Structure 1
Amino acid sequence: MNRIIEWECQAADALKSIARRQDLKAQVERTPALNGLLRRAAARYVAGDSREDGIEAGRRLLGQEYAISLEYIGENTQDAEACEAAAEELAALVGELWRLGMAARVSFDLSHIGLAADDELAVAQLLGLARRARGTGIELFVSMEESAKTDRILAVYKRAAAEEPGIGITLQAYLNRTPGDLAGLEGIGGPVRIVKGAYREPEEAAIGRSEALNERYLSLVEAALAQGRRVSVATHDETLIEAVAARGWIGQGLEFELLYGIRPDLAGRLKAIGYPVRVYITYGDEWYLYLCHRIAEFPPNLYRAIADIAGGTAADPLSEYE
């Protein structure tokens, strides 16, 4: 058993490195057979390439009484025109959700809409999206990225939130700096999503999966609630979910948020108990990096990916929520 765990950890580290290899990504994109095989695996975690695919998945999950988040996948976009195009897609997503009367949250990486090119561009794009979403009931949520970007992400977020209150922010529990980052948000309104963290980080910057990480996670949830925030507990860790529920925080503005295609059985059980559950749906053609992250954060997903590839048809995760 220890050898299996060791192998899974090594596989996770390897996948985190592979995810950043642009040469491998390019090879996948220009090799039709390989692209097709990996797309079968990605279909479990990505609703499709188009906005319509994402919205349709969201519509079906809303019909099952789940709350939803939608993300147009992308990050580290360095060309300003491409950043503007990504922001236009997100604005169109906000508008379409509003037109259809779908209550939803729209999430995105700041490096997709400007941060990788210029901080001022990121601020302008975020404010533009916030103004587009104002009055629609659609909530914007900034995702978190590698720790090397954290200072800049928080700086952009704070500037935008000062003008457009209510934008949400994601915090990563495994980073040693995060308790201080949360304290630094005191006085800035908006909900918080707390994740464990999935990026490969230096040992001095983060702690690994452990009881200590779970305790830090719980303390962050408690601190965020004490600030009067709504909190998304974004984890598939049942031990952690049970610990949150045992503390009586349900009903204090707390919800559980699970990724699309991962543990639909758990999402269903939590919803059946009466807990608020949100499903985080992604769409777009930048699925390669996302697939690598989903497998890396839970290495047994590699076995599922192999089964999906061998099965010959794309997975249909929506059927597992019904």
Structure 2
Amino acid sequence: MNQTVDWERQATEALKRIARRQDLKAHVERTPALNGLLSRAAARYVAGASRKDGIEAGRRLLAQEYAISLEYIGENTTDAEACMAAAEEMAALIAELGELGAAARASFDLSHIGLAVDDELAFAQLLRLSRQARETGIEPFVSMEESAKTDRILAVYKRAAAEEPGIGITLQAYLNRTPGDLAGLAGIGGPVRLVKGAYEEPREAAIGRSAALNERYLSLVESALAQGRRVSVATHDEALIEAIVSRGWARHRLEFELLYGIRPDLAGKLKASGYPVRVYAIYGEEWYLYLCHRLAEFPPNLYRAIADIAGGAAADPMSEYA
């Protein structure tokens, strides 16, 4: 095996394991010097700590003619009061996004608003937020988490979407179950965001980054479009993007969704070619897991993280979208 490819695979697996180490996360949070250093690396991918930061990033992206998706980051919240507080923050986010009067999405993890406590709590909060979003003109979108939660996430989503059919759902192409999950959504309205998948999963549950995964991804896009859905192609894989472009699928039901701070050059290229492009940005204090995933999905980002840490000042990815 090529030594570089082998190193990248090992780095990816290690970072996914590190992402789930609560002891390491706690150590980072209680060590000011370490927290400060890593927060410089996180600044490339995180819009800021507050809703004000997230909204400001959204305004600047809208000014560059990008659609936006904002998320108050967090998951696996096990205290009911904290879940309700997170939902209140998301309600405030939806209200402020509505004031922008633009193509905006509010995304969230169900385990941030109740799933880690009780499915009924997650359902009630999702339904409330989705109704507010519809009334405000904002699109609510459910993010996806580890495969161990997928059945419960889809069950809560389906119940809520039966009452609020405009809710979006994220599906992970690397999971072997996903083609069946997409087929099971037939008859339920709402857009789909397709990602490759970033969590560490058992080998029997998922396939790795490969030509086979790209073929499955393409098949999922085609199937979702055949269901009459709008589809967000959420990948930075340029070869996969080129394969999708070459198929000439309807642009009015297809958009490319790229993560804030990753490949702004590609976002600009796609936009200049006439494709709808959405930038997905997060804000909040819970950036540790998110940073690990961004480094894991493309290990050479480690070099950039080291450069950002050594630079002594937080990166300003927004300048690269101008």
Partner of 1:321: 321
- Provide the rounded CA distance (Å) in 2 between the counterparts of 1:135 and 1:115: 24
User: AA paired with 1:307?
Assistant: A
Partner of 1:109: 109
SS at match of 1:185: coil
Partner of 2:228: 228
Structure 1, unmatched stretches of 5+, are none
- Tell me if the contact between 1:142 and 1:167 (Cα under 8 Å) persists in the aligned partners: yes
- Provide the rounded CA distance (Å) in 1 between the counterparts of 2:102 and 2:216: 34
- Provide the rounded CA distance (Å) in 2 between the counterparts of 1:101 and 1:211: 40
- Provide the rounded CA distance (Å) in 2 between the counterparts of 1:212 and 1:29: 39
**What is the aligned-residue RMSD (CA, Å)?**
0.9
My pick for the range that moved more, 129-138 or 150-159, is 129-138
Give the aligned length: 322
- Provide the rounded CA distance (Å) in 2 between the counterparts of 1:133 and 1:111: 19
Equivalent positions of 1:113-128 (< 5 A) are: 113-128=113-128
TM-score (norm 2): 0.99
TM-score (norm 1): 0.99
Give 1:228 deviation, angstroms: 0.3
SS at match of 1:134: helix
Mapped pair 1:67 → 2:98: no
SS at match of 1:150: helix
Partner of 2:242: 242
Give 1:100 deviation, angstroms: 3.3
Mapped pair 1:12 → 2:12: yes
Partner of 1:213: 213
Give 1:252 deviation, angstroms: 4.2
Partner of 1:308: 308
Partner of 2:280: 280
Partner of 1:32: 32
Structure 2, unmatched stretches of 5+, are none
Partner of 1:156: 156
- Tell me if the contact between 1:97 and 1:103 (Cα under 8 Å) persists in the aligned partners: no
Partner of 1:138: 138
User: AA paired with 1:159?
Assistant: R
Partner of 1:289: 289
- Provide the rounded CA distance (Å) in 2 between the counterparts of 1:5 and 1:177: 27
Partner of 1:76: 76
User: AA paired with 1:119?
Assistant: D
SS at match of 1:59: helix
- Tell me if the contact between 1:19 and 1:292 (Cα under 8 Å) persists in the aligned partners: yes
- Provide the rounded CA distance (Å) in 1 between the counterparts of 2:235 and 2:103: 22
User: AA paired with 1:152?
Assistant: R
User: AA paired with 1:125?
Assistant: Q
Give 1:101 deviation, angstroms: 2.3
Partner of 2:170: 170
Q: Map Cα deviations across residues 28-84 of structure 1 (whole Å, 9 max, x no partner).
A: 111111011000000000000000100000100000000100000000001000000
SS at match of 1:46: coil
User: AA paired with 1:282?
Assistant: I
- Provide the rounded CA distance (Å) in 2 between the counterparts of 1:226 and 1:71: 28
| Identity across matched positions, percent | 84
Give 1:102 deviation, angstroms: 3.6
